[in-house]
Amino acid sequence: MTTPTNTPTDAVPPTATAPAPSWQDEATGPARAERLSALAQQHGALVTLIVAVSAASLSFDTFLTTDNLGNMAVSSAFLAVVALGMTFVIITGGIDLSVGSLFALGGVLAAWGSQYGTAVALLLPLAVCALIGLVNGLLIARSRLAPFIVTLAAMLGARGILLAVTDEGSRTYLVDKDSFFAKLGQGEALGIGVPVWITLALFVAGAVTLRRSRFGQYVYAVGGNEDAAALMGAPVARTKIAVYTLSGLCAGLAGALNAAWLVSGVTILGSGMELEAISAVVIGGTLLTGGFGFISGSLVGVLLLKVIQNVINQIGSLDSAYQQVVSGAFLAVVVMAQTWLGRRRRVL
């Protein structure tokens, strides 16, 4: 209504009726408030992380030990790789609920493949998971199906494939402890686990791609306003297909690395991981409505989640059920804050 570029073909008007979200449109008074809220949105997670780490290290002697930090870093690494792919998907305004299943499937395929060498152990899960991601992307982009329902089906289907591969979950494939593949998970360089290095490298590559490449611009454009992006000449469908493939690839890689770390493919892993990944991305400041977000925030989000889990574990009297209560409540609080700060009320 307010923007003259909206043609009658625009079938989804809610965003159009809301006040334009960009900072420049507002006058100087509210602009400062907007900028402050944007600042809180961008760095809120980092500040919370620093506070949480300080509080935890003051409360528990066991928190700031090399062992604990190293463990936390490695266990964060797998979730971080999944969250990396999820960040791209969410910035395009989509969601990928299949990553938990793909994580588990990737791990089992990697463990099975490791008997034929490291190349098979890595390429097989990557190929299968990327293929499932590609199918997700094709259905979402070309057939215009809702992302959450497509990836929900993929979550079910991938878990089914996983069960079929493992004789209904009864078989566990082991990785040879001395193989090069196992070193990818268990090895260390400069006192820091190899998975952590791999993850950091991937995050740098992801951040550069998102910020500096044309593909990254398309990702933001598609999430910001799909119709405008299409009019601008951005390959909307291809961008969407690419992000879901990337998300599947990341989940498969994370699963493979996790299998190398555990030296076995564990079938029951990954349930609830889609939620953790989405939480991490959202906590990191990426808007679920798409068009806005950053890679580094997702890393901070993962670390924050893991620190909270670690603290709950350290309080011995609290069992893991509280972890779920706290993470659910935390996600709700963050999304509430985000909705308020972002002033992007799509609904109402």
Partner 1 sequence: MTTDLAVPRTKATDRDRLRRQLQEYGVYLGVAALLIVNILFTPHFLSTENFRTQAVQVAPVLIVALGMALAIGSEGVDLSVGSVMALSTSLISLYLGYGIWMALAAAVLGGAAVGVANGALIAFIGVQPIVATLALMVAGRGIALVLLPQLKDVHDPGMAALGSGDLLGIPYLVLIATALTLLVAFVVRRTTFGRQLLAIGDSRPAARLAGLPVRRVLILVYVASGALAAIAGVLATARLTASDPTSLGTLMELSAITAVVVGGTPLSGGRVRIGGTVAGAVLIQLLTATLIKHDLPPSWTQIAQAVVIILAVYAARERVKR
3-state secondary structure 297-331: HHHHHHHHHHHHHHHHHHCCCCCHHHHHHHHHHHH
Report DSSP letters for 147-207, one per residue.
HHHHHHHHHHHHHHHHHHHTTTTT--EEPPTTSHHHHHHH-EETTEEHHHHHHHHHHHHHH
Q: How far is the CB of 186 from partner 1 (least distance, A)?
A: 30
Q: Are the C-beta atoms of 186 and 260 separated by less than 8 Å? A: yes
For residues 249-262, one letter each, b for 16 or more C-beta atoms within 10 angstroms of the residue's C-beta and e for the rest, the string is: bbbbbbbbbbbbbb
**Does residue 84 touch partner 1 according to CB under 8 A?**
no
Size, binding site for partner 1 by CB under 8 A: 54
**In a 3-state reduction of DSSP, which class is residue 264?**
strand
Of 72, 163, 198, 263, the residue at the interface with partner 1 (CB under 8 A) is 163
Judged by CB, which is closer to partner 1: 27, or 268?
268
Structure tokens at 130: 């990327």
Stretch that binds partner 1, among 114-122, 123-131, 173-181, 339-347 (CB under 8 A): 339-347
Binding mask 7-46 for partner 1 (x = CB under 8 A): --x-x-xx--x-----------------------------
Residue numbers 214-253 binding partner 1 by CB under 8 A: 230
**In a 3-state reduction of DSSP, which class is residue 64?**
coil
Residue numbers 247-306 binding partner 1 by CB under 8 A: 272, 275, 278, 282, 288-289
Q: What angle do CA 219, 212, 144 make, to 5 degrees?
A: 10
Judged by CB, which is closer to partner 1: 48, or 289?
289
Q: How far is the CB of 197 from partner 1 (least distance, A)?
A: 31
How far apart (Å, rounded) are the C-alpha atoms in residues 82 and 95? 13
Of 47, 64, 156, 204, the residue at the interface with partner 1 (CB under 8 A) is 156
Of 131, 153, 192, 198, the residue at the interface with partner 1 (CB under 8 A) is 153
Report DSSP letters for 7-49, one per residue.
-TT----HHHHSPP--GGGS-HHHHHHHHHHHHHHHHHHHHHH
**Does residue 62 touch partner 1 according to CB under 8 A?**
no
Judged by CB, which is closer to partner 1: 76, or 98?
98
Residue recorded with tokens 């291809």:
238
In 59-149 the beta strands, taken as DSSP E runs, fall at none
Of 160, 172, 176, 213, the residue at the interface with partner 1 (CB under 8 A) is 160
Q: How far is the CB of 331 from partner 1 (least distance, A)?
A: 4
Residue numbers 126-145 binding partner 1 by CB under 8 A: 139, 143-145
**Does residue 146 touch partner 1 according to CB under 8 A?**
yes
**Does residue 172 touch partner 1 according to CB under 8 A?**
no
Stretch that binds partner 1, among 27-35, 205-213, 251-259, 340-348 (CB under 8 A): 340-348
Q: How far is the CB of 163 from partner 1 (least distance, A)?
A: 3
Query: Please, is 323 exposed, middle or buried when counting C-beta atoms within 10 Å of its C-beta (0-12, 13-18, 19+)?
Result: middle
Interacting residues with partner 1 (CB under 8 A)? 9, 11, 13-14, 17, 95, 139, 143-146, 148-150, 152-157, 159-164, 168, 230, 272, 275, 278, 282, 288-289, 319, 321-329, 331-332, 335-336, 339-340, 345-348
